[in-house]
Amino acid sequence: MPILEARQVVREYPMKAETVRALSDVSVSIERGQFAAILGTSGSGKSTLLNLFGGLDRPTGGEILFDGKSLAPLSAWEMSRYRLHSVGMIFQSFNLIPTMTARENVSLALAFAGLGKTERRRRSLELLDRVGLSQRAEHLPSELSGGEQQRVSIARAIANQPQILLADEPTGNLDSNRAAEVIGLLDEMRQRDGKTIVLVTHDHELASRYATQIVRLKDGKVVEVGG
Amino acid sequence: MNFADIMALALRNLRQAKLRTALTVIGVVVGVAAIITMVSFGIGLQRNIIGQAFARLDAFTAITVVGADANDLLVLNEGRTAMDEGGADDKPVGEATPEPSPNQEETSRQLRRARRMLNDETIAEIQQLDGVRFVAPIVTFTGYTRFNDRTRFQLVAGAMPGNEPRFKTFLAGTGFSSETGDEAVVNENFLSAFTAEAFRQRRNNRGGSGGGPFQAAPNKTDAERQREAQAVIGKEIILLSPPTGQAPGAGDSIFGIPLLNFPSQTPQREATDPDESRFERRVFRIVGVLKNDGGINFNPFGNADFYLPMGQAKQLRLANLSPMERMGGALVGQSDEAYRAIELRVADPSRIKPVTEKMEQMGFRAFSVTTQLEEIERIFLIINSSLALLGGIALLVASFGISNTMIMSIRERTREIGIMKAIGGSDGEIMRIFFVEASLIGLFGGALGVAVGWGIDRIANVLANQWIARQTGQAIRYVEFFSIPWYLWTGAILFAVVISLLAAIYPARSAAKVDPIKALRYE
């Protein structure tokens, strides 16, 4: 059974004059433990698909299934629990809270899961150690390099032990060395912890180097599914 | 996310916009301080008045009974004048006026005026009633009083010999031995009003009332006070009064209505040299000096500083009736012997209600601490609510400030809210952060407002006491004008928090509705 599945997913955005169709009839299934890369140019709908997988958005038509169960009937609160426990999201612009230190940013995700203060502190330091940032725990995002910030956001994404990591152009703001480090870290998570990785990128080379499954999107449609 | 974490996040948000938070809090402070100051004044006033009632040891056995006077009888009462009622006043004692039906009684309660006159006959009748322990008319008049070689225009009251409940504590001496003795009882106010210093101060403060409801502060030791009181026992007080039986204008009347014969000059309290030839000199010896309790005294009846035996007072009152009183009384067929009010004491507090009701049935108006407390409390409920409303308006204005601050804060933190949602924060948690933020503003503002209100009260109280001391020209006992009971300050803080929460409803909901995808879109 695929851990993530999109079945005939349609996502339309009603605009003033017309309705923009970001995804039309997209069906994708991602097996557990895969490194799936969603490739496409900007405007191809790849980020839209990732947001649907991440539970940040709901499809206009079709359905998203996690572990064989549809996300459609979930309430807003249940959806927030899905985001908290089942998926971890990583963004191109890191999306760390600028007024919080690296540790506090990781800790915030643990706080939403209801962990106590001492437990949060211990866990967040452990997670930062995991991504090689134990020395930078008390630094603000502005005091960290791009690569370091992205590693903090990976630590935050895995904080509540989700089965899936969803990364939206995580290397877009990084140079090639840092990019390789970050993707390497994601791959390590997959190999060591059995996480399923869904990577949205427009970088073919990067995708072909790590991905076990490639989905190519164009104009909101799947044009190629391959390995 | 647990409450402590939400609290920590809210505090962090407030700290990040210190100036904005401070300004918003100040808005709340102003509103709460306004409520505290105004309502504490209302409650303080209420306490002072009620406290005055309680301060009287016999407060719960005392009834003041008011009879009809010219004004009452001339004014339309329940659609008729008393004179239309077939001269109820002329009915022999015992023949009670018909009782109004309970329904009528209820609706006319506020409007009801006394229909019967109080005179020696009715007093005798009341004396016989079950549960009545003491009855005495309230007999007061003003006259030129000479003491210590100084003359003042002074209020004089009559008091009963023996156990007179209005005489509470004697510093020296005793009460009257008979109704007709040439005796006088005075209190400490009287003594201090006739000192050289009091005269000088009053002269320097023209317009100063020289007393009023504020009684002199006992700034001496008890031993000193007793010594001073003892020293005046046996001293003479001279009362200059129009010759008895020959009151001014008494002879000039048309059909029994005396002609108005106003004195050419209204008497001044400080009139130093009345033309003694026109007056009869009456000499009284001080037999007792009463202790001054201090504080505020609002009782309009019979709180004189100078008492004469009842018989003497009655006689002198008639000689001192003003032409206006004389004419009014004559117009309604009231004899000069009628009293405006009487003091009544019941045997025990449980008798207050039945005796009060009986008095009303008999056609008088009766006031007791019990009835007064009820009315005072009702009046103050209105006063305090109005004051609270004024303060509440200030707080309402502040609530717009809170809304504004929250909306600004949410605009600025849209991205942060988006991040929280993306990593698993629920709408409810986001909403709670902002509600807690708002209630913290309310709580800080409320607590600070209470402190500021308290501070204003303290300063105003000192200034008010200084002002009164200047106006009255004498040192008065320190009066506490403000009162902040626990329910006022807790209520004010709670109100501030509730207002803040209401102000946060819209902002918090819009925070919860932030679309994470839009919020996280690249800048």
A77 touches chain B (CB under 8 A): yes
Q: How far apart are the first and last CA of chain B?
A: 29
Mean pLDDT of B138-149: 85
Min mean pLDDT across A194-208, B3-17, B296-310 is at: B296-310
Contacts of A157 in chain B (CB under 8 A): 423
Tell me, rounded to whole angstroms, the distance of Cα B237 from its chain centroid: 32
Min mean pLDDT across A97-101, B224-228, B507-511 is at: B224-228
A155 touches chain B (CB under 8 A): no
What is the overall mean pLDDT for chain B? 77
| Alpha helical stretches, state H, B133-234 | 188-193, 196-204, 222-232
Contacts of B16 in chain A (CB under 8 A): 99
CB–CB contact A80 B425 (8 Å): yes
pLDDT-based confidence at B273, cuts 50/70/90? Answer: low
Helix, coil or strand: residue B430: helix
CB–CB contact A112 B1 (8 Å): yes
Helix, coil or strand: residue B177: coil
Helix, coil or strand: residue A67: coil
pLDDT reading at B260 higher than 60: no
Instruction: Choose between B250 and B347: higher pLDDT.
Output: B347
Size of interface A-B (CB pairs under 8 A): 69
pLDDT reading at B356 higher than 60: yes
DSSP for A148-171, please give it.
HHHHHHHHHHTTT--SEEEEESTT
Q: What is the pLDDT of residues B35-91, one digit of tens each?
A: 999 899 888 888 877 766 665 556 677 888 888 765 555 554 444 444 444 444 444
A76 touches chain B (CB under 8 A): yes
Asked if residues B257 and B327 have their Cβ atoms less than 8 Å apart, the reply is yes
Contacts of A95 in chain B (CB under 8 A): 415, 418-419, 422, 520
pLDDT-based confidence at B107, cuts 50/70/90? Answer: very low
The reply to whether ipTM tops 0.85 is yes
Question: Which pLDDT score is estimated for B446?
Answer: 94
Asked if residues B51 and B295 have their Cβ atoms less than 8 Å apart, the reply is yes
Ramachandran angles phi, psi of B130, nearest 5°: -65, 130
Q: What is the pLDDT of residues B387-442, one digit of tens each?
A: 888 888 888 888 898 898 889 888 888 999 999 999 999 999 999 999 999 999 99
CB–CB contact A76 B427 (8 Å): yes
> What distance in Å separates the CA atoms of residue B515 and residue B520, rounded to the nearest whole number?
9
3-state helix, strand, coil in chain B (%, to 5): 50, 15, 30
Mean pLDDT of B218-244: 80
Instruction: Choose between B392 and A199: higher pLDDT.
Output: A199
